Amino acid sequence: MRIVEYDNNHVYSYGSQSPIEFLFQPSVVTVGSCDGVHKGHRMIISRLVAVAESRRWRSVVVTFEPHPRRVLKESLSGPLGLLTTLDEKIDLLCGEGVDLLFVIHFTPEFASRSSDDFIKNVLVRLLGAKCIIVGYDHAFGRDRSGSRKTLENLGRELDFDVEVVDEVLIGNEHFSSTRIRTLLERGKIEKANEFLGSPYLITGTVGHGDKRGRDIGFPTVNLKLSDPNKLLPRAGVYLAQTVLNGVHYMAIMNVGIRPTVSDEGIKTVEAHLLGYSGNLYGSLIRFSLLRFIRDEKKFSTLEELKIQLEKDKKTVEMYS
C-alpha cells in the first residue's frame, strides 16, 4: 500500500517512503476518518477493492489527520479519544488490499472547503475518481453538507459512479466508532473487539518506571503512548498480547492510576510480559487487548499486590 500526504494543495510521500511522482489514475475512492478501522469500515473497503480489481482501477482510501473532530472543537461535547493512531490505522489498512492511502492534513482552512470543491478538485481531478463508494450515513465538506444526493448530482456532471454500502449490523446491533468508544470506556473489551473485527491496540515507547514491579517479581514495561489522544479503556487489569522479534508473549496489562504505589492520580499503562526477560527501554511496542480481568484495586501492602498478581498470572495462562 502506497501512502501519501496532502497538505495545502501539495502531495508528499509519507514518512520514510521514497519520493513519489503522483500520477493521475482512474480510481475507486472512499472517504472517511476510519477511526478504529472497524467492521463497517472494512465492509466498505472490501467493496472498494473488489470494484477496483474488477475494473482494473486503483483503490484509494482518503482519510484525515488529525481527526476532524479534534480540529472542529465546537462540535465536541468533550475530548475525543482516538481508537487508532495514524500508524495503527495504516497497519490495519495494509491488510485490506488497498493500493493508496491518501492522508489529508485536516485544518480549519481545509474544513471550510465546500463539498463540491472537495469532490471536484481532490477526488476527481487529483485522485481520478471514476467511482466513489461511501457508507449509508456518509456526509462531508463544510458543515457536512455533502450527501449521497450531492455525490450523485456531481457524478452525472463529472462522469463518476456512486455506490452506497448498507449499514453493517452485528447480532442485529447498530454500531459505530462512538459505540465502540463507549464499550471501551466501560471495560467491555471483548464486545469492542467483536465490533472492531480485531483486538484493540495500544502502542507506546517503553520508558523507565519506579521498578516496584521488579522488586516483587513482576517487572513491567511502562508505556509512553505514541499519541496522547489515544483512548484508554476503563481502568483495570487486562489480558494482552504482543509480538517481539516474531515471538508472541501474553501479558498482564494494568491501565489506571496504580493506587497501591502512587498517589499522583495519573492514568498510566504498564504490562508484565510472561516468559520474557530482557531490556526493552526505548523500544516501540504494540499490545493487543484481549480480555478484561478485573478492576484496579488499592492493596495495603506490596505483598498483597504480589499475591493478586500471581492470581492474575494464572488467569492469563489459562487463556494462553
**176 in a structural domain:** no
pLDDT, tens only, 106-131: 999 998 888 889 999 999 999 999 99
3-state secondary structure of 43: helix
Cα(256)–Cα(236) distance, integer angstroms: 6
For residues 210 and 161, state if they share a domain: no
The residue ranking higher by pLDDT, 137 or 315, is: 315
Q: Which residues constitute the domain of residue 245?
A: 200-319
For residues 32 and 90, state if they share a domain: yes
pLDDT, tens only, 58-74: 999 999 999 988 888 65
**40 in a structural domain:** yes
**20 in a structural domain:** yes
For residues 83 and 161, state if they share a domain: yes
Q: What percent of the chain has pLDDT over 90?
A: 66
For residues 211 and 290, state if they share a domain: yes
**161 in a structural domain:** yes
**188 in a structural domain:** no
Query: What does the pLDDT average to over 209-237?
Result: 87
The answer on pLDDT for 284 being more than 80 is yes
Amino acid at 139: A
Task: Give helix 177-185 / helix 189-196 axis angle, nearest 10°.
Answer: 160
Domain boundary among 140, 165, 190: 165
Contact 133, 151 (CB under 8 A): no
Q: What is the pLDDT of residue 124?
A: 95
DSSP summary character for residue 75: G
Domain boundary among 117, 145, 165: 165
Q: What is the pLDDT of residue 18?
A: 64
For residues 92 and 218, state if they share a domain: no
Q: What is the pLDDT of residue 144?
A: 58
pLDDT, tens only, 120-164: 999 999 999 999 999 877 766 565 555 778 888 999 999 999 999
3-state secondary structure of 315: helix
Number of separate domains in the chain? 2
For residues 160 and 220, state if they share a domain: no
For residues 52 and 156, state if they share a domain: yes
Residues contacting 309, CB < 8 A, separation 6+: 216, 218, 252, 272
Q: What is the pLDDT of residue 5?
A: 93
pLDDT, tens only, 28-59: 999 999 999 999 999 999 999 999 999 999 99
The residue ranking higher by pLDDT, 17 or 253, is: 253
Query: What does the pLDDT average to over 18-36?
Result: 86
Contact 233, 185 (CB under 8 A): yes
**185 in a structural domain:** no
The answer on pLDDT for 20 being more than 80 is no
The answer on pLDDT for 291 being more than 70 is yes
